[in-house]
Structure 1
Amino acid sequence: MSLELQDIAWHQSVGRLIETLDKPNFWIALVRLLQQYVPSDSWVILLFSRDRPAVFAECPGTDGGPDPLFQDYLKGLYLLDPFYIASRENNGAGLFRLADVAPECFEQTDYYQRYFRLNVVADEIQINVPLEGERTLCLSLGSRRPFSPEQIALLGLIQPWVMALMRQRLGFEQELLARPTAPAPAWQSRLETAGQKVENALTARELEIARLMLSGCSSKEVARKLAISAETVKVHRKHIYSKLGIKSQSELFALFLQAQDS
């Protein structure tokens, strides 16, 4: 069987990348190699866990400094990220597309309108490596245009290489892995008493429904996830709005944002 020149170039590039496994520029080198085959406009490598995400490397903002929108993400918006939610519900390995994990009403959410489409823009794909302790190492690529089926297929072919390299790199990330991470923001407690008396606090079920609503789940999706009826979901939503003194999901999102700064 003959090898194409492009196949040879790929293996040569991977060989050079392996030599950088212990170098500070490994993550950038890995992303640049992937971008030769699948162009992207943004990227980040982070660790999902029960605490706030730990960032291994990220693309710089437009001015070369930290991206302020991404800082908002790390402060608490990640709780509404379809990829984060999927990693917590099912810590699976492999390549995931936005279409695989996004809830039915994702594009109608304030999270999508006020963060995702401004920061990621159009589409996102993620390679996940599950780790011990309910953690997931993630390499995420964002694009201003939807990734094509051919690009997804190509990433699927090279995914085993990428995942193996990501795992091997962890041996040189012990300092970051050992660093304490900040706990997830207690936005629930803020919603429980946001402008209301303690006796009007949201129940645990109402809090869960509020989070699912904010992430873009339709009433049917919430019902399916929680094994209740769609009508029951609508009743819970009415109670949530009443207790919090709000009338819309946008107002609920505003309370969520306030909780990130508490």
Structure 2
Amino acid sequence: MEPDWQDRAFHHHIATLIDALDGPDFWTRMTRVIERFIAFDNWVALVFIRDRAPLVCAESPMPDGTVDLLFRAYLEGMYQLDPFYINACERPRAGLVTLAEVAPDNFRMTDYYQRYFKSNIIGDEVQFNHPLDARRTLIISLGAKHHYTERDIAMFAMFAPWVMALLRQRLPYEPLTAPQAAEADAGMPQSEAVAASEAAPGARDVDYASRFEAVARQSGRTALTAREIEVVRQSLSGFSTRAIAERLQISFETVRAHKKHIYAKLGVSSQSELFALFYEQNGREGA
């Protein structure tokens, strides 16, 4: 069958995208090719790292040129509640990942959804994931103010082979180590540089357990046990009591008991107070 002009235009855009693989505008060009066929409102390219803040490869600019404060808050800690981040760390896999696939059962009831996701992304999100190793995944996220239709998801799935191929080819041109360790790692092989940056005392963030312990200690509250910290994190992420019980392989009543002890130790009475304590600067300062 003879290709029409739209097919030829698409192949032209893919060719220019391949030419831009080693350039600073690669991510912008990729999103422009995709948005010719599927509407979305924001995008970001990141490296998810287990127990560390994501590394930013590129992000869509704010319409007025200002700094996206919500995204800064995400990088400072709220990424720990992101269902895409959690899924990439727990079950890394390559390809298209949709919000419907990874969102916990109570996701839309969480403070993370109401205060960050709904305000920053608003409607829906998909990601293309390329695992680099057991701890790191290169992703490009496409967020929309509306919910993606079945056609949209089908188009994303159809684009996945060439998007994934380009992600793999882009790797040599991305800084995959934390900025703070860049000078110290200069001249090291990439694998050694990554290990050094993640082990460095000045690494960009700490795992959620250390974060929770530090906040409890600084506010003079009773420290939580490792299991209680896990229950808090999963609860704030949007997993229901029953889902937490299944994930931790404990009983429903045991999870309820953990929650009761957590609230008593921390002196809080709601999920919103828990969220404010661990993920809002004002909540931590006023605690």
Q: TM-score range by the shorter chain?
A: over 0.9
Is 1:11 aligned with 2:35? no
The residue that corresponds to 2:256 in the other structure is: 234
Quick check: 1:191–1:244 contact (8 Å CA) kept in 2? no
Quick check: 1:93–1:128 contact (8 Å CA) kept in 2? yes
Listed as ranges, the gaps of 5+ residues in structure 2 are: 182-202
Quick check: 1:95–1:127 contact (8 Å CA) kept in 2? yes
Is 1:59 aligned with 2:60? yes
Quick check: 1:187–1:259 contact (8 Å CA) kept in 2? no
Distance 2:63 2:243 in 1: 37
The residue that corresponds to 1:106 in the other structure is: 107
The residue that corresponds to 2:91 in the other structure is: 90
The residue that corresponds to 1:35 in the other structure is: 35
Quick check: 1:43–1:140 contact (8 Å CA) kept in 2? yes
- What is the CA deviation profile of residues 104-128 of structure 1, one whole-angstrom value per residue up to 9, with x for unaligned ones? 1111111111110000011001110
Quick check: 1:126–1:141 contact (8 Å CA) kept in 2? yes
Shift of 1:258: 4.5
- Residue 6 of structure 2 aligns with an amino acid whose one-letter code is Q
Listed as ranges, the gaps of 5+ residues in structure 1 are: none
Report the TM-score when normalising by structure 1. Answer: 0.93
SS of equivalent residue, structure 2 residue 233: helix
Aligned length: 259
Question: For the structure 1 residues 176 and 227, does the alpha-carbon distance in structure 2 shift closer, same or farther, using more than 3 Å as the test?
Answer: closer
Is 1:48 aligned with 2:48? yes
Shift of 1:177: 3.8
Is 1:256 aligned with 2:282? no
Shift of 1:4: 3.7
Distance 2:48 2:149 in 1: 27
Distance 2:277 2:213 in 1: 11
Quick check: 1:110–1:250 contact (8 Å CA) kept in 2? yes
